[in-house]
Amino acid sequence: MIREAENKDIEFLVKLASLPEVWGGNEEELREDFEQLINSEKDLVAAAEFSGKVVGFANIRLRTDYVAGTKSSPVAYLEGIAVLEEFRGKGIAKKLFEFCAQWAKEKGCTEFGSDCLLTNEASYAFHTALGFKDIERTVHFAKTI
């Protein structure tokens, strides 16, 4: 079952999001982030539940700033999606995305944006399987001064 995440799901969401292949980072900061996201009007956190256990999540945001390759506003933006390893390959991520897309349509969106690292081949394959088009590639730079 796919549903909107609730405050009771935050600990699971933090554990999954803190995995290096998802977002990584500080669990306390992620906990604060999820508390805000779940209660935000411009964000949706969807949860995939199986036998009473949350096994995945997706987070989308309504963006009004420019999103590469889009022409409308707001644009739904897939900020993150993850499914526990033992539940992958069962279509759960696709169902999470479809739930998010329906929410975005109800909010007036006609386009969806997303991104992934060039090295994340699984994410790239997932996006293209959903019909996302590769719009542009960028290289980020940093320098100590």
Supply 12's token pair: 């699971």
Average pLDDT over residues 98-118: 95
Q: Which CATH number is 2-129 given?
A: 3.40.630.30
Average pLDDT over residues 44-49: 97
Residue 132 near residue 68, CB atoms below 8 Å: no
* Res 140: pLDDT: 83
R_g (Cα) of the chain, nearest Å: 15
Confidence of residue 139 (pLDDT cuts 50, 70, 90): confident
The rounded distance, in Å, linking the Cα atoms of 83 and 17 is 10
The rounded distance, in Å, linking the Cα atoms of 74 and 107 is 9
pTM here?
0.91
The domains of the chain are located at 2-129
Residue 82 near residue 19, CB atoms below 8 Å: yes
